[in-house]
Structure 1
Amino acid sequence: MPSKPPSREELAFEWMVGDAKEILAELEAMKADAKKMHAEQQKEHEATLASLAALNKDVVGAYRVFSRVAKDGVQAIQEAARAASKDMVKTSAFTHRRIASVALLSAAVGAAVGVALVLAGFVLFVFP
């Protein structure tokens, strides 16, 4: 029996089946590549999360140190202001005492000069 040549439909069907097999093989290779890429991305994601957690920990630590230093700085400034205020009060009191003693000394010298002039005038006019 002679075999009859395949019909157009049979040729088209075989051609489509062959293309479908090739497409299926390519899709399976792409699926394997996608799974591999997904696994790599998961590893990178986990590494990124670990890095972010470490950085966050460092930032929180630095913030705590900064806050402590700022608080200590404010306290030091307040203590320096209180000490400066006390020193200013002491200096002011000392200056006032100095000024008062200079004024008293000036008044005493002025009084002595005045008394000396009065006595000199009295001696000159009374005992000519």
Structure 2
Amino acid sequence: MGFPERLKALRLEANLTQKEVADKLGISRPAYTYWEKGEKVPTPDKLPTLANLFKVSTDYLLAHSDFRTVEEAELSEVEMLFRATSLDMTDEEKAVFKQELLDFMKERQKLFDEDKK
């Protein structure tokens, strides 16, 4: 699925018309329609606005990633790390390892939150 198809799918998921999206972007409906048809592409300044409108990353919008958000991509990396490092573990060891990872992440988040204060 390329940019035009992804753009249309996101618009339909959001229950928006082409006109509504165009209005939110400050462009004409025909200009937006060209994007969905793949006849033209948005200017670089419109990409972040589009991504924010649909609550996805620009990489997802441009079909450079199948992860809708940066957070999804990061979680996928953690999952891959867990899988790669737990290959030779028993189910019991995997359960302990998983819990230790979760505990570590919770503690780390607390420290990040304290730093923000």
Query: TM-score surpassing 0.5?
Result: no
TM-score normalised to the size of structure 1?
Answer: 0.22
TM (norm. structure 2) is 0.24
